[in-house]
Chains A and B, each alone.
Chain A
Amino acid sequence: MLKQIKDRMISLLIILTGLSILTYGLLYLLPSDPIEVLIDSLGLPHDTETIERLNEEYGFDKPFWIQYWNWLKNIFHGDFGYSVKYSQPVNQALWRKLPNTIKLACSAFIMMIIISFPLGILSAVYKNKIADYIIRFMSFIGVSIPSFWFGMILVYLFGVQLKWLPVAGFTSWKGLIMPTLTLGITNSAYYIRRIRAVMVEQMSEEYISGLKSRGLSKKKIIFRHVLPNSLLAVITMLGMSFGGMLGGTMIVETVFGWNGIGSAAMGAITARDYYLVQGYVLWMGFIYVIVNLVVDISYQFIDPRIRRGMQAK
């Protein structure tokens, strides 16, 4: 168990390092010189004197690795650079909007679970019955539907036509409903398919026919045996789904004008505020990696095989 945690930590470190190198490298893909971006972001004049001064301070004339190292040191001090668009440090600009994104991602995540668990289980239990066909059809459409379009249709139906929910000005809890529905429903489609696939696979295992021949009722087999055994695989997928949800927030926030870090990053892209985009990418990657770590560790505690192995040692 300890060795597993150690391995996990090492791979986490590698991933985070890779994440930061890739994010830092983004600046070098710009058609213009990174130093020009910095000058723009600080609002300084473009003359040789400033360039020299900044070179000295930030080391743009130094090799990539030294620059990266300096940048990384700044990151550890919470300095992600200065955002031109929001006229404040990137860190502050993102920090202020993060709660909104977390709120959206979490409520969508809960919605996804509420929708997908019962439907996934139902679909697997009534395999090749009418209920299964309907659920499969719906989730097939759900997987293929562009989430932003689904969101727009919701706005059109509930905002424009029925006037139940606000079209713009997403400040109250009512404003949370439509973005949550959009993210929750479109993401649950994937999850329903996964839950069904895992459960169907479990149900074709040999021990199930053994249980059947012992005369156990279908209900008992499903709730006592199939479900607990499928749950493990389903939980690992949860981490990935949360990532999809986080990734989806950018487009959904932009469509709904939700004031989170996704729409902030989108605004930064149009304003060529590169430091904010960079900070956003790094934050999202970091959150995703941490969520997956938590899922992985909790998975090891849930799986009785691993848990018992741990006690035996």
Chain B
Amino acid sequence: MKKMKKPLSRSRIIARIKFAVALFFTVLFICFSLFASYLAPYDPLETHYDHMLEAPSSRFIFGTDQLGRDIYSRILYGGKTSLLIAFAVTGIVSFIGILIGTAAGYMGGVFDSLLMRFCDTLMAFPGSIFTIALVSFIGTGVTNMILAMCLTSWTGFARTSRSLVLSIKNNVYIEQAKMGGASDWKILMVYIIPNVLPALLVNIFQSIGSKLLTISGLSLLGLGSPPPTPEWGFMLSEGKNFMYQASWMLTFPGLIILINVVIFNFLSDSIQDLMNPKESVW
């Protein structure tokens, strides 16, 4: 028993420190992208033809690419696009998914089973294959990319929130609210969604990380915004062609994707720990 109690409080403290650290780095990296125009030493599209494929130096700290563009500046500006898309998609998708999922879980019946079949169908396409196909059919570019990702990834939120609703639906306080004459809409908005939302926070931040991976994958395949715009994934596909001469073109964009995904996954993990202090399974 003594053994049980001690790590409990300690793990709480650790969880709080973890969350603070995660939050700090999240804000830091969002700021990097937000203030890209102030932080970048060069214009991301500015070419220095006398400094092509130059190794990292004090003048170009991450080196330059095949057109003599500053990789550091391009990474900063690229973050703006990637993070913006990731936030937009996660925002839209979580809103729609949670709304549909909770409504389905609460109402049940035909709507619920229809919706679940539809989710099953969308999830029957492995990985991001359907997203890639959608983008290739509706056309490339940022808006289409957001649209395609939204269309395919709301199902995860719908499913999770549905199962959360099912687990609290039969609680006494909801029965009481019903007896008190609250409308379905009010019960959903006041009693159910606020209750499931904290648990979904973990999924929301995790989604940002995985969206960043999808975005860079799409832009690597050339399905993102058209070429001169700096984008991490596309920078990597360019870097691949110059692997022999300029390894920094490969290292830095990849590293920055990794760091950003790590940060959002870490944040989501730390929220999980914070909310579930008894025993973090992970």
Contacts and interface: CB of A to CB of B under 8 A. Distances in A.
B243 A246 contact: no
B138 A143 contact: no
B244 interface: yes
A140 B262 contact: yes
B130 interface: yes
Contacts of B120: 11, 14-15, 18
A277 B261 contact: no
A285 B243 CA distance: 34
Interface string B11-33: 00000000000000000000000
Contacts of A22: 121-122, 125, 130
B221 A247 contact: no
A258 B243 CA distance: 18
Contacts of B91: none
B227 interface: no
A247 B282 contact: no
Given A153-B250, A266-B221, A143 B125 contact: no
B209 A247 contact: no
A281 B254 contact: no
A144 B209 contact: yes
Interface string B200-218: 0000000001000100110
A243 B126 contact: yes
A201 interface: yes
A140 B265 contact: yes
A248 to B, nearest CB: 6
A143 B265 contact: yes
Interface residues of A, number: 55
A250 to B, nearest CB: 6
B11 to A, nearest CB: 10
Interface stretch (A27-35, A40-48, A301-309): A27-35
A243 B221 CA distance: 20
Contacts of A140: 262, 265-266, 269
B8 interface: no
A287 B282 CA distance: 31
Interface in B95-149: 117-118, 120-122, 124-130, 132-134, 136-139
A144 B262 contact: yes
Contacts of B220: 148, 251, 255
B236 interface: yes
B128 A155 contact: no
Contacts of A284: 125-126, 129
Given A149-B254, A152-B236, A152-B243, A277 B124 contact: no
A27 B137 contact: yes
Interface in A16-38: 18-19, 22, 26-27, 29-31
A65 to B, nearest CB: 17
Interface stretch (A109-117, A173-181, A192-200, A225-233): A192-200
Contact of B258 (A11, A26, A149, A278): A149
- Residue of A29, A140, A141, A255 with most partner-chain B CB within 10 A: A29
A146 to B, nearest CB: 5
Given A29-B138, A197-B282, A243-B127, A146 B262 contact: no
Contacts of B117: 11, 14-15, 18
B149 to A, nearest CB: 14
8 contacts: A18-B124, A22-B122, A26-B133, A26-B134, A145-B258, A201-B281, A246-B129, A269-B221
Interface of A: 11, 14-15, 18-19, 22, 26-27, 29-31, 136, 140-141, 143-146, 148-149, 152-153, 155-156, 160, 167, 193, 196-197, 200-201, 204, 243-248, 250-251, 254-255, 266, 269-270, 274, 277-278, 280-281, 284-285, 287-289
Interface of B: 117-118, 120-122, 124-130, 132-134, 136-139, 209, 213, 216-217, 220-223, 233, 236, 239-240, 243-244, 247, 250-251, 254, 257-258, 261-262, 265-266, 269, 279, 281-282
5 nearest CB pairs, A to B? A247-B127, A18-B121, A149-B254, A247-B126, A243-B126
Given A146-B213, A250-B129, 7 more contacts: A22-B122, A136-B282, A144-B213, A145-B261, A148-B233, A155-B243, A266-B221
